[in-house]
Every structure is written in structure tokens, then in C-alpha cells.
Amino acid sequence: MTDNNGTAIQKWSGGTVLFAGGTDWSSIGRNIAGKKKGGADAAEASRAEKYPNLVSPRRLKALVDVRIAFIAAGSAACHCIAGGMDGKVYTWGRNERGQLGHGDLIQRNVPSVVEALAGKEVIAGAGGRHHTVVVTSEGSSYAFGSNKEGQCGTGSVKSSAKSEELIKAPEKVQKISDCTAVACGAEFTMWLCDGKLWSAGGSQYGQLGHGTDHEYNAKDSSVKIMYEPQPMPRKISALSEKTIRAVACGHNHTLALDTEQAAYTWGNGGYGRLGHSVQKDEFTPKLVDALRGRMPVDKNSPAACGATSSFCTMIGEQLVSWGKLKASGDNTMYPKVVHDLAGWKVRSIACGSGTYALAAGVPGEADNSTVTWGQAMYGELAYGEKGKKSSANPDKCQALEGIYDHQVALGIGHSMFLVDPDSDKVEDFEVFEPEEATCEPTNPEAAEGAKGAAGKGKGAKRKAEAPAAKKPRGKK
């Protein structure tokens, strides 16, 4: 088999997972330690010793001898997914809504096989804030975790104002077949099936792409704006004439790339994350005008979305981004070239909550670099003990230099790299094994952004995470 340039392509035999970032899954992104006098510092030191931040990439003891086919997380996810070449799927991390698929709410600190998926060859996966979706070689899909907004696609929502439906073990997603890829937003899901997109979950901001946000007033005598969930996957008709080849989801928006080298975005338009030069929500997929004509999307471009940002590559080996990448930075309202990486061939890119990573190389030169940047708190940029804690600009991970990186995956406070297992340098990475394989979650109800977070589902008032054009009530 050869690529478009006639170069021989070796059969994929799997890679080795390297991990960096926080291992205290219960506290990542939260303030768990108490503030009592004389006790806070000791408690924090004790937790830090038991659950260290891995600032340099490490191999994981449970996966040392496992060839991995893919890795996955999500910009809103604080858990990890890895698929073995044998079709088994491993999950670990936060599990307060059953998003690890093991039939319980017990936190896994080490990669653990999802036994309920035994016999099903899993080839892809993605994580949302509290849910996980995987795809099998037969084209079917299974989901587990919170189904409060119907994001698991099981066809029904049994949640109430006081509780939410938790799917603790994998359930088959309805209506999905011939599926090859999946992407998760915070509380919604996109399935790529035979070139078409299907969606389910929270409908606020129009992020499902069906022309509406399903907004309604839940009270007769006052105003209580709510958004009706969509638990049954539905094909996005606005893209029915297009063949979609790649899809990525931010917290509340989606980026899709088609086979005609065009990009489409929809959902929350705040901070310019849709790339349409205005901060306006889009309820149906809209062509990104800047990426057409003489500046089309590269035909092999990956797609990636952060909480408020979007990425792809255009012809000429140019990585472009738009939206808000930095907490204190300006918005980019339309695609602009990331000049620090001009001329680099990007094969994989991922976004965390405020961090970014890519596997790339310079054509004609070495093709073995991993680049990270962003605002990190747990060592997830993998710069090492003596390296920077955060980086405003893209920079190489020196520990990974010279190693071919097949794929990157980021989540909240952590990063994963799927590297060539035959590299001489891989054996030099330390192996990490936590003190406890499992543990009860700490402060399980303190979900990140639980109060006032944009895009929270049913019952949430429209409180945008970023300024967007307002529309009169009753006018769509």
C-alpha cells in the first residue's frame, strides 16, 4: 500500500501510550483540599505525594505490554480512553457519572478493560464532560455515563430536575450504523457514519445542527427558558449533499470537514469560535468562507476543537485556528495562520480545556516532533521538571523529540501521546503505577462549572459562556 506520493505505508501495528499531567482525578480542576488553619497545607502535600502531577511523559504500568490502536479524551473530559489492537477498550479517570463504563461510580486510577464490551472490536472513541461513546468495527456505537441531555443516544431521557439518568455500563446507541468516528461535546455527541453526520444530546446554541435550539418557556405565568434534549440520534440534513470525512466538537460547537476541502461550523458563536467573523450562534452548519477559493482546507487535514476554539490545516502546510485560545487573549473571529508552525505537516491535533498539542514534522526533514502549548496547571504540556509550566506559544516537547508520534489526545489536566513502540527511546521513559488502582471519588457532586456554566442542559437559563448576538424571544 502506498500514499498519494507513492511512498510505501507500513501496516499499522499499534503504539505505546505516554501520559503526562494530573493523576488526582477527583481534584483536577477543582478545589478539594480544605481551608482550615493548619490543615490545608498538610492535606495538599499528602495528596500531591499520593497523586503526583507527571510533568514528564511516563509509560503506564497497565499498558506497558499492550499495543494501542487509538487514544481519546475531550476538551471537557477528565477521563481517558484507549483502544487496544485486539479491540479491547480501556478507560480510567473520573467516574462520578459512570463515564468509565464499568457498571459503578468508582474512580479508576489505572487503565481498566471495559468488560461489558468484550467481544466487540472497538476502533474509535470520544469523551464528553460526563459521558463516553465508542465505535466498533461493525459500525455500531455504544455509550455510557450521564444521559441527562440524551447525549448517549439511547432514545430516551429519564432525568428529572433533581436527578439525572446514569448509564453505568455500555448501551447500544440507537439508529447508528456504518459508523467510523465519533466526537463529543460537553453534553452532546456527533457520529460520522458513511460520510454523514448524526447528532444527539443537549440542543442549546443549536449545537446539534438541526436548525433549532429547542428553546421553550417552561412556565405559564413567568419566564423560565429551557432547552429540550434530543435523545434519539438524528441525521443533519443540511449536510446531506456533502461527504463529511472529519468532525470535532468543542464544549458547545462543532467543526466538520468534507471531501471537497471545505469546513463547516455551527453551535455557540461566542468568541468567534465558528470563524464567521461575527459572534452569532448558528443552528445549522455554515460554510467557513475564509477556507475556500485559493485557501481551501487540506484534503488530509485533521480537525480539533477546544472549549472556545477551532483548528484545521489548509493547503501549503498551514495550521489555522480561530476563536479564543488564551484566557486573557483576544478573540480571532476568522481562521488565521499559526505562524510559529508555518510549513509543518500536522497529522494529529488535540485540545484540552486550555491546552493544545500536535504531532507533526517538517516535510523533507525529520517527521518526529510533538508540540504543545497553552495554560497548564498539572504538567500536561510534558516539558519536564526543569521546563516551563505553561507556554503562550507552540514549543517542542524535548522528551519526545526524535520519536514518531502517531496521535495526541488531551483532556482536562492531562495529555496522552501514542508513539512508535519500536523507537529505542521508548524504553527510557519511566513507568508510572499509582498507589491505588481504584478509589471512591472525592466530593463527587462538585462537578466543574456546575453553577452558571454555559451549555448546561435541561433547566439551564441561556447564559452564554461568551458574548453572542442576542435574538428576540420567539424569533428563530
Which pLDDT belongs to residue 476? 37
In terms of residues, how long is the chain? 476
Give CA 109 to chain center in angstroms.
19
Q: Is the pLDDT of residue 300 over 80?
A: yes
Lowest mean pLDDT among 44-53, 336-345, 353-362, 401-410: 44-53
Among 275, 245, 268, smallest CA distance to 257 is for: 245
The whole-number average pLDDT for the span 406-421 is 98
How many C-beta atoms lie closer than 10 Å to residue 1's C-beta? 7
Q: What is the pLDDT of residues 103-119, one digit of tens each?
A: 999 999 999 999 999 99
How many C-beta atoms lie closer than 10 Å to residue 317's C-beta? 16
Q: What is the percent of the chain with per-residue pLDDT over 90, rounded to a whole number?
A: 78
The residue among 215 and 130 whose pLDDT is bigger is 130
Beta carbons of 456 and 151 less than 8 angstroms apart = no
How many C-beta atoms lie closer than 10 Å to residue 31's C-beta? 9
The model's confidence at residue 450, banded by pLDDT at 50, 70 and 90, is very low
The model's confidence at residue 137, banded by pLDDT at 50, 70 and 90, is very high
Beta bridge partners of 144: 132
Q: Would you state the cell numbers that stand for residue 1, as one nine-digit string?
A: 500500500
Beta carbons of 404 and 368 less than 8 angstroms apart = yes
Beta carbons of 396 and 371 less than 8 angstroms apart = yes
Which pLDDT belongs to residue 452? 33
Beta carbons of 413 and 29 less than 8 angstroms apart = yes
Q: Is the pLDDT of residue 46 over 80?
A: yes
The whole-number average pLDDT for the span 357-382 is 92
Lowest mean pLDDT among 278-282, 350-354, 431-435, 462-466: 462-466
Q: What is the pLDDT of residues 221-262, one digit of tens each?
A: 888 888 999 999 999 999 999 999 999 999 999 999 999 999
Beta bridge partners of 255: 248, 265
How many C-beta atoms lie closer than 10 Å to residue 88's C-beta? 20
The model's confidence at residue 303, banded by pLDDT at 50, 70 and 90, is very high
* Domain residue extents for the chain: 16-30+44-439
Beta bridge partners of 336: 321
Which pLDDT belongs to residue 225? 83
User: What is the C-alpha to C-alpha distance for residues 276 and 280, in angstroms, rounded to an integer?
Assistant: 8
The residue among 182 and 36 whose pLDDT is bigger is 182
User: What is the C-alpha to C-alpha distance for residues 182 and 315, in angstroms, rounded to an integer?
Assistant: 25
Q: Is the pLDDT of residue 419 over 70?
A: yes
> What is the 8-class DSSP label of residue 464?
-
Pairing of strands 431-432, 253-258: unpaired
The residue type found at 195 is G
- Residue whose entry in the numeric block shows the C-alpha cell 506559544: 393
Q: Which positions ≥6 away from 377 have C-beta within 8 Å?
A: 22, 389, 413
16-30+44-439: CATH topology: Methylamine Dehydrogenase; Chain H (2.130.10)
Backbone φ and ψ of 340, nearest 5° = -65, -20
The whole-number average pLDDT for the span 432-456 is 64
Q: What is the pLDDT of residues 184-232, one digit of tens each?
A: 999 999 999 999 999 999 999 999 999 999 888 878 788 888 899 999 9
The whole-number average pLDDT for the span 109-130 is 98
By CB neighbour count within 10 A (0-12 exposed, 13-18 middle, 19+ buried), where does 250 fall?
buried
Q: Which positions ≥6 away from 145 have C-beta within 8 Å?
A: 97, 98, 99, 101, 128, 130, 131, 132, 152, 166, 167
Which pLDDT belongs to residue 1? 38
Among 61, 65, 106, smallest CA distance to 88 is for: 65
Q: Is the pLDDT of residue 464 over 50?
A: no
Lowest mean pLDDT among 10-14, 22-26, 139-143, 275-279: 10-14
Among 186, 228, 225, 235, smallest CA distance to 77 is for: 186
**CA angle at 447 for the pair 441 and 450, rounded to the nearest 5°:** 165
Q: Is the pLDDT of residue 176 over 90?
A: yes
Which pLDDT belongs to residue 465? 53
Which segments of 37-193 does DSSP mark as H helices, in order?
A: 40-50
Please give the full DSSP string across 263-327, using - where no structure is assigned: EEEEE--GGGTT-SSS---EEEEEE-TTSSTTSPBPTT---EE-SSEEEEEETTTEEEEEE--ST
Q: Is the pLDDT of residue 160 over 80?
A: no
The residue among 357 and 29 whose pLDDT is bigger is 357
Which pLDDT belongs to residue 443? 59
Beta carbons of 91 and 114 less than 8 angstroms apart = yes
Pairing of strands 141-146, 79-84: unpaired
Among 221, 220, 247, 279, smallest CA distance to 74 is for: 247
Q: Would you state the cell numbers that stand for residue 180, as one nine-digit string?
A: 467510523
Among 47, 46, 71, smallest CA distance to 57 is for: 71
Lowest mean pLDDT among 32-41, 50-59, 132-141, 182-191: 32-41
